[in-house]
Amino acid sequence: MGKRYYCSKCEHYHYRGQIYKDHQKFKIEGPSEQTSEEKNFESVLDKSRLQQFKTEIIDEIKDPNFFRELIQREIENLQSKQEKIYKETQEKQSAKISKLQGQVKYLQKQVSSLMLKMDKKGIIRETHHPPSQMESKRQGELSPQTSKPVQFEKQDKEQVKIEEKKEEELEEPVIITKPIKNLDDIEEYIKLLLKPGDSIKIDHLIKKQELQNISLSKLKKAIYTLIENNVLIPNESTSSIQKIDGTIGKLTRVK
């Protein structure tokens, strides 16, 4: 009689055109138990649906673009996850770097402030290191502040005694008309302090009241400039505790 169809109202299967008659004949208003025939029909229907589903899956798998699209989707998912992880990692690292940079800047400011205070008070001075064998061999090499080799003047004991007496005479204060600030002022002060033939130890020079607000680096530059201009001659004095670059312990004015 043809194919039967499922009725959702009574939950039964009917032949086409017999649904209304069956309802009137059996006065069906609600669901009733299925017959063995109906159950068998449902099982066959389920099998046919399963087979159709398998066929569709197989056809889809046979498609050459199926696996390509599947792999592409997986790659896109992995890339999105990696980008998310990378972005989170970069944000954390940038936050840490910014924090460290802030700490470094703060420490640099603290060190600069401390060095400035120490420099103004005259605390930073050249540390004396006894000349080693290597340093003695390097005498006559270029000094880091000059373009010419520093030549030391040889002195005998009598000359040292005479110069020490002259140094005692230099204890009188030098009258200056303006405060010492730049290199020219330092050079002018040293020329006023030392007359031709006078000598002074580095110990005595750095203790001068007029030079207390001058940094040691500026003082060294001024001394090396005067040495290059043949105004001063460096001497390797063993009695001076403080030395410039570990070698120059005394200065003698030539002209």
Per-residue model confidence as pLDDT tens digits over 89-108? 888 888 888 888 888 888 88
As a whole number of angstroms, the distance between CA 251 and CA 147 comes to: 18
> Taking Cα atoms as reference points, which of 138, 101, 108 lies closest to residue 236?
138
Contact (Cβ atoms closer than 8 angstroms) between residue 202 and residue 240 = yes
Q: What is the pLDDT of residue 42?
A: 56
Give residue 91's pLDDT: 83
pLDDT higher than 60, residue 130 = no
Mean pLDDT of 123-127: 44
The pLDDT, as a whole number, for residue 34 is 53
* b/e per residue 87-108 (b: at least 16 CB within 10 A): eeeeeeeeeeeeeeeeeeeeee
For the ranges 98-102, 232-236, 237-241, the lowest mean pLDDT is seen at 237-241
Q: How confident is the model at residue 139 (pLDDT cuts 50, 70, 90)?
A: very low
Residue located via tokens 């910014």: 98
The tokens describing 182, both together, are 């730049």
pTM of the shown model: 0.36
Kindly write down the DSSP assignment for every residue of 71-116, as one continuous string: HHHHHHHHHHHHHHHHHHHHHHHHHHHHHHHHHHHHHHHHHHHHHH
pLDDT higher than 60, residue 171: no
Higher-confidence residue of 65 and 195: namely 195
* 231 Cα distance to chain centroid: 46
Residue 236 has pLDDT above 50, yes or no: yes
Per-residue confidence band for 47, with pLDDT thresholds at 50, 70 and 90: low
- Under the banding of pLDDT at 50, 70 and 90, the label for residue 182 is confident
Q: Please determine, for residue 113, whether its predicted confidence score (pLDDT) is greater than 70.
A: yes
Looking at the predicted structure, is the pLDDT value of residue 68 above 60? yes
Output 103 or 140, whichever has higher pLDDT: 103
**Phi, psi (rounded to 5 degrees) for 60:** -70, -40
185 CB-side CA count, 13 A: 13
Min mean pLDDT across 44-58, 114-128, 194-208 is at 114-128
Provide the pLDDT for residue 116: 77
- Whether the pLDDT of residue 159 is over 70: the answer is no
Confidence class of residue 9 from pLDDT cuts 50, 70 and 90?
Answer: low
pLDDT of res. 29: 47
The answer, yes or no, to whether residue 188 has pLDDT greater than 80, is yes
Give the count of beta carbons closer than 10 Å to the beta carbon of residue 174: 14
SS3 state at 43: helix
- Position with higher pLDDT, 101 vs 144: 101
Percent of the chain with pLDDT over 90: 0
Decide if pLDDT at 219 tops 50: yes
